[in-house]
Each structure stands twice: as C-alpha cells, then as structure tokens.
Structure 1
C-alpha cells in the first residue's frame, strides 16, 4: 500500500469527478421537465440528499473499510442475501446507465465531426452505441490499465465545458449584451411546476447526486479524516451545486427552455454562444471531443468494476464457476460478454421509441429508478447499525446522537422512496405509449428484484449476518473503486 495520505483537496476533486456530469443540466432545464425550476432544485437537493448521503457513507466506510463498499455495509446490517441483492440491483442499474451514456456519447460524436443533424438518426446512434460497448468491453478484459489513461481526462470532461458555457454565456449576454437573455428569472419562473414531468426530473437530479460511497471508501487513507472529510464533502457539494445551478442559468440565458433538448442542450447552447461572439464552431467540436473522451474513459472504468463486484465477490455457489472465472487480469470475461449482450439487446429494444430524444430520456429515467433502490437499502442499513450496534467505532462519525441519526435516516429514505415513485409516473404522449413505458419501467424493475431473489433462492445459501466484532478496522490490500463521470 502507498504511505501517502489523501489530502483535503484531492478528496474534493475525487468527489467532483465521481459526482458531476454536465449532461444533467440540459435534461433538468428542458421545458419537458423542470425548466427554470431546476436551478433552485439543484441547491435544495444538494443539502437534503447529497450531503446526508455522503456523511452516512463516510461513517460506514470508516467503520467498515472492506472491499465491496455499499454491498458489504448492507451485509453487516441485513445479511449476505441482501448484500447480494444490492450488488445485483447496482449491476443491473448500470446496464441502463451504460445504454443512456452510450446514447449521449453517440449524440456528442455527431457534434464532434460537425454534423449535429445526424444526432436525430436513430439507426446511426444505435449502431454506434452497440459498436462502442463491444469495443470497450473487449478492451476492459485486459485490465484497468487502459481505462486509467482516461481518468484525468474524465475528471475535466464535464467541468471544463461547464466553465466554458458559463463564461461564454455571461460574456455574450450580460457583459457584451450581444442578445437579450432567452429566459426571465423571477420567483415565479424559478418555482418548480408540480406536474408529472417535473416530478420525474427530481428523481434524475437525485440520481445525479448519487455515488458518495465511492469517495467514502478512501476515508481511512485521509489526513485527519475527522476534520477533513466533512469539510471536503461540504466543499465538493458547494462546488458541484454551483456548477449545476450557475450552469443551468448560463444555458437558459442562451436558449429558451422550450428549445433545450436533454441529449443535445449543452452543445446547442455552446453553438449559440459561439454564434453571438463570432467564435468558430470548431471550438464546439473540440468541446464535444473532450466530452466524448470523458465518456469513453468513464465507460471503460465502469464496465469491469461492477461486474467484478457482482461476479467476483459474490458468495460462492450463487453463480456458476463458468461465469465467475477470471482471466490473468482478474476480469470475469464471460460475465463481461454477457453484460455487453444485455446492453445491446436493451439498446435495440428501446430503439423502437419515437426519436433519439425519447430513447435518451427513457434510458435516463430507467437508470434513475433502478439506481435509487440500493440507496434505500444503504440508508436503512445505516439506521439499523446506528441503532443496534453499540460497538460501531471508526475514524469518522456523522453524529453520536442516535435520535438525530434516526431522523436524518428516515427523512433521506422517505425522499429516496418519493423519487423512486416519481420515476415511475406516466409522462408519455398518449395512453398506448404510457402503457408500454410503465410496463418497461415498473415491470422491468420488478423483474430485476424478483430475479435477484430467485437467483439467491436457487443457490440454497442461508442469509448470514456478518458479526460486527469480526470486522477488522483495516483497509484491505486491493485496488480501490475507481470514480468516473455519470
């Protein structure tokens, strides 16, 4: 292990890299979702959801610095059966995440080559997405060395374009007054509308704020964690919140919310800024290239890690040894092929939706719904351990007041359940489309949970709870989880 400790600012940047994604700005500010109401929601949910989540994960990681992270914490609280179920839900959620991210990459690629009109070509986006997932899946079988070259690029792939968007927008609209603002910011316009689309958008914002368990795994390697970790979390939260909120303002100054598309809004806004300032459109192509590289880096990093977590660290006997067998790089190659096949089938299935924008929104919504389920388990696990385990002792404690901890736990859990319900609201154009949408969304989620329980039942294993006193307060000698853009 390395002796060097993680510094305060290194943890801040790690959180930003893991949690910030520029694509959420366009989706949230689209008139089909929250519009200008997204601006205050980014700030509100930062405090109500992200900060409590991050501090809970910090305490769990400090007390149980064990390979497996979230799944291991759930094992401690509820047993091996539910630890497996969380790993299963996390992996299946990433199947939808991959599909939506591949669609986002394909749309960016059309801007990168200077042909944005191709972004609406469903067949092109489908073929490109399937080709990319298979190429990167094969590359990931050689280990993580290839993906690590993209880590630094990935951390800048969203923040730099956001800064460019903010600077160009304010220069063009506020300082040089090249055009009037496309939006009027008042209390009335900033107040979120209470309709089904806006409620669905709330779940997407919460999904954008998930992932705090990644950075929490490094708490034992920090300098002065009791002091620096909560400071780093709050600093990262403030930076992320500012990027989302000010980035949303910048985008809506350049484009009216009625013209913002979830999949192309960022680049459309940059094109508008370049038009107003007389900057060659080549600049937007360079930005699109940076975003595309960050997407590729994140995809490579995430293809192998969740698969290793589910198939590599699963209880012996749950899956056949044929699919859990690893190669010389420690990668379960057959599981990787199985994963790529599932993603391809999913992409083909949703391609029947009308238009790339509808496909992208469908995949993002499915991602938000299935990803939030494991966090319900996480919050309940924290609450149970906090109530029942008298000997919980780690490098960091969110609060020693058990009543306060229970109140925070119940509040965040309720908010998470509310977001899950919102994700499942019918938002399609007509009854027939809503029936198909709900069948895929709710039916798919039920299928995921039931299939996970059936896989466990078929294994014949008992649900064993890990005794707290058997957990050593040491960090294992293994490769840490790698962060990447959502």
Structure 2
C-alpha cells in the first residue's frame, strides 16, 4: 500500500478512538452520579482497567498482526464461532453509540454557529445527525489510509480544547486568584455509594475502552509489530492525563450541580473565558474544534466494527452482498446497510421528550452492550497465555506468564463487575425500574441470542460451518 499509517498517525487514531472530551462533563455532573468523585475514579480505573487493557491489546496486535483485531484474537483462542460473536457484539454496541455521539456533535455545531438554543431543537439534531452520518459513511469506504486525515485532525480537535480548559482553569484559579467552584477534600472527592454512581462507574469504563479499535487496520500500519505497541502507550498516557486533569479543571470552573452532560465543557470554557476577558467568539472556535474531533472518532468507528464483522469473519455467515470488499478492503455495502440502521434508530429516538434524554439514554445503553466483547477479549488473552506460554511475542505486557495472566484476570473481573453495575436500577419507582431492567438486560440478551442464532444457521447450511462446529 502506497500510503502507510505511521506512528503519529496511529497515535492520533488511538486518541480519536480512546478520548472523548464529552466524558469530562458527563462524569463530573451531579446528574450523572459522581460529581467530584469522578476525579479519583478516573485515576483508579486508568491504572486498573485502561492501562492493562491497552497493554493487552498491544501485545495481541503485535503477536497476531492481521486485520480483524478482536475477531482475530478471539478466534485464535476460541475458534471461529466466538470470533464471530465478539465481532457481532462489538458492532451491535456501536450501532447505539453512533446515535449518542451524533447528538453530542449537534450540540457543538449549535454553539459553533453562535446559536446554542439549536441544541434543544430535536428536528435540527435529527437532520444534522443524519446528514453527517451519511457523509462520513461514504468517506469511510475509502479505508483508514485516507480516513486518517480526519482522525489526525479529530485528535487535535479534542486534545487542544482539553488543554485550553486545563490551562485556563489554572490561570483563573492560581494566577488570577479566582476562587474555585469546588472544594477538594477527602470527603468531597469520595464517590457517593448509590445506584447512580455505580452506573456512572461502568460508563467511565466504557469511556476508557477502545484500545483494540485501530487493530482492525494493522496491515495498513508501517512496521506494525513495533509501531502499534508504541502508539498505544503514547495514546494511553495522553488520554489518561487529559481525563484526570480535565475533570479537575471543569470542576474548578463550575460547581458539579451546574455541569450538564452534553454542554458542560463548552459552558465551563465560556465561564472561564468571560472571567479572563475573552469574547464569545472563543467558544465558537472551540465548538468547531470539538466538532472536528467527533467527526474523526465517528469515521474511525464506522469503518472498524464493519470491517471486523463483515470483512473478516468467515464467508457465508452473511450474504456475499454485505461481505464483498472494495478496492480499499472495506465492505462498502455493509457500511451503507449500517447507515440505514442508524437512520432508523435516530428516527425512533427522536420520539423521546428531549435531546438531553436522548443523549443520556443512549450512552447508558451503550455502556452495557459495549463491555460484552471485552469479556471475550480478556478471556482469550488468558487462554492464549496459559496454553501458549512459549509463543513468539514481539511485544509483551510482562515476560512473567503468571503475572500477565493475573493482570488479565483482574481486568476481566473488573469488566464483569462493570457489566453488572451498568444495569443497576436507577429509576424512582419499582415500575420504572422493572421496565428499565427489561430494556437493559433483555436488550443485551436479545443481541447475544441473535448472534448465536445467526451462527447456528450458518453451521447448518455451510460445510465450513459444520467443520468449525466439529472443532469446538
């Protein structure tokens, strides 16, 4: 391939995949359940979940440098069936994620236009979301050697506003001696132990996931065995630092009771800019920048799960129309099919009472379904390490096989706890909680059972599928 993905291209791609500036506001808002407690939670989960996950993905990508990422790793450990299932679970989770992220995108566009009231206009949100997703879907069919242009710009679009937020908060509080909006003590930093905070913790785990995403394009990476682990580690340091420092910065500007999930970062920047004598034009520029960061992340997540599910799994599971790849090794017809599904979801969620309700419901649903593939990911790593201790691994999390398995077991346990926490009842009445649990848990089970049904049908009608079944 003429235009390979280099180290910093891959770093920017990983930052686009791993870092979302929206999570700074989402995690620190009282309405989300953590408030100031988000700060120690970010620190804790960066060390016990994020960094180990990134190291595990870096090791697997270096050991099995083939397009497909999660699919290839799980298939290597458990065979074709579970390779398909992890691809299926990863893709179905992203279907809901697109909708929530597009809602956040439209909020930033409204601020960029100088008309923040548009963020509450459901029709504006719907139309802009649909147009944006279709345009990005058409761009994504050209592969990430082309799409890296958008992820490079997107990574800067999220990191620069975050750095500005951190610096401006520091200048306001430390240099100009403006009193901070929050008081940081051991007591105030302790997360509240209630159902809302438990769900919030699972969502923070979701925000810290995604280290496996760029592995779907590993054959497009220059010197992948060395470049991928280095890029993952650089991205992990950038992302972890931004989440922690950004959370401190936003809570020093606004009290947690005033932080909203979808507008918090922009409102905090507007508040501190006003104190520093900077005009409203500044927020419009920042909103444009964040909008570009969202575009970069969306285009990466459009191509990656589709390529894994329809471009990497065994031929015959889906009709050839969906699995046929174009000149850029992307299943273009599947991308269009996905765009149609997302369109239907956006039209359906537009019936909810408000834009903020759409945003919060979809993020919560995504947090539940998104964590399922990581159970298979970490389980596969443990199995491969246990059964193939002497396999050639160009990059290793640790040379000590026992330590590697112990770390992976820890991350696997945390993931499973996160799945349970994400379905914790958070509604006010028993009836509302019953409906909520049926939707959350029932929806997840429906996705799993649908994937198993698709595979079982494939086994029955395909000689290859029957052969795979016999090897289980």
Shared fold, TM over 0.5: yes
Moved more, 14-23 or 200-209: 14-23
CA–CA distance in 1 between the matches of 2:305 and 2:136? 15
- Structure 1 residue 373 displacement after superposition: 0.8
Partner of 1:81: 81
Partner of 2:54: 54
Change (3 A) 1:344 1:172: same
CA–CA distance in 2 between the matches of 1:243 and 1:383? 30
Change (3 A) 1:251 1:5: closer
- Structure 1 residue 167 displacement after superposition: 1.4
Change (3 A) 1:452 1:5: closer
Change (3 A) 1:49 1:166: same
CA–CA distance in 1 between the matches of 2:146 and 2:2? 21
Contact 1:81 1:463 (C-alpha < 8 Å) held by counterparts: no
CA–CA distance in 2 between the matches of 1:12 and 1:328? 25
Change (3 A) 1:207 1:466: farther
- Structure 1 residue 300 displacement after superposition: 2.6
CA–CA distance in 1 between the matches of 2:139 and 2:3? 31
Partner of 1:40: 40
CA–CA distance in 2 between the matches of 1:88 and 1:441? 18
- Indicate whether 1:339 and 2:343 are aligned: no
Partner of 1:69: 69
Contact 1:59 1:398 (C-alpha < 8 Å) held by counterparts: yes
Partner of 2:123: 123
Q: Tell me, what secondary structure is at the counterpart of 1:298?
A: helix
Moved more, 416-425 or 122-131: 122-131
- Structure 1 residue 301 displacement after superposition: 3.1
- Provide the aligned C-alpha RMSD in A: 2.8
Deviation string, structure 1 residues 78-105 (Cα, Å, up to 9, x no partner): 1100000001111111111111110110
Aligned residues: 463
Deviation string, structure 1 residues 130-150 (Cα, Å, up to 9, x no partner): 232223323434555763332
Partner of 1:457: 456
Q: Tell me, what secondary structure is at the counterpart of 1:396?
A: coil
The equivalences for 1:238-317 within 5 A come to 238-317=237-316
Partner of 1:473: none
Change (3 A) 1:352 1:276: same
The equivalences for 1:461-480 within 5 A come to 461-462=465-466, 464=468
Partner of 2:360: 361
Partner of 1:475: none
Partner of 1:476: none
- Structure 1 residue 182 displacement after superposition: 1.1
Q: Tell me, what secondary structure is at the counterpart of 1:92?
A: helix
Deviation string, structure 1 residues 28-82 (Cα, Å, up to 9, x no partner): 0010221101111111111101121122222222221122111111001111000
Deviation string, structure 1 residues 179-236 (Cα, Å, up to 9, x no partner): 42111111100111111111111112111221222466869956995xx987765554
Moved more, 364-373 or 97-106: 364-373
Contact 1:75 1:81 (C-alpha < 8 Å) held by counterparts: yes
CA–CA distance in 2 between the matches of 1:235 and 1:331? 28
Moved more, 405-414 or 15-24: 15-24
Q: Tell me, what secondary structure is at the counterpart of 2:468?
A: coil
The equivalences for 1:222-241 within 5 A come to 225=226, 236-241=235-240
Partner of 1:205: 204
CA–CA distance in 2 between the matches of 1:143 and 1:292? 21
CA–CA distance in 1 between the matches of 2:198 and 2:299? 32
Deviation string, structure 1 residues 311-331 (Cα, Å, up to 9, x no partner): 122211101112223445544
CA–CA distance in 1 between the matches of 2:230 and 2:325? 40
Deviation string, structure 1 residues 402-461 (Cα, Å, up to 9, x no partner): 332332222111100111111111223444543443333222211111111000011121
- Structure 1 residue 258 displacement after superposition: 0.8
Partner of 1:140: 140
Partner of 1:90: 90
CA–CA distance in 2 between the matches of 1:365 and 1:282? 33
Partner of 1:380: 379
CA–CA distance in 2 between the matches of 1:70 and 1:424? 24
- Indicate whether 1:26 and 2:28 are aligned: no
Task: State TM-score, norm by structure 2.
Answer: 0.90
Higher helix share: 2
Change (3 A) 1:442 1:314: same
CA–CA distance in 2 between the matches of 1:144 and 1:11? 10
Contact 1:63 1:394 (C-alpha < 8 Å) held by counterparts: yes
Partner of 1:419: 418
CA–CA distance in 2 between the matches of 1:224 and 1:144? 18
Partner of 1:149: 149
Partner of 1:434: 433
Partner of 2:111: 111
- Structure 1 residue 161 displacement after superposition: 0.3
- Structure 1 residue 122 displacement after superposition: 2.5
Contact 1:59 1:397 (C-alpha < 8 Å) held by counterparts: yes
Change (3 A) 1:5 1:454: closer
Runs of 5+ consecutive residues of structure 1 not aligned to the other structure: 468-486
- Structure 1 residue 298 displacement after superposition: 2.5
Contact 2:4 2:145 (C-alpha < 8 Å) held by counterparts: no
Contact 1:77 1:465 (C-alpha < 8 Å) held by counterparts: no
Change (3 A) 1:423 1:277: same
CA–CA distance in 1 between the matches of 2:298 and 2:212? 19
Change (3 A) 1:353 1:333: same
Runs of 5+ consecutive residues of structure 2 not aligned to the other structure: 460-464
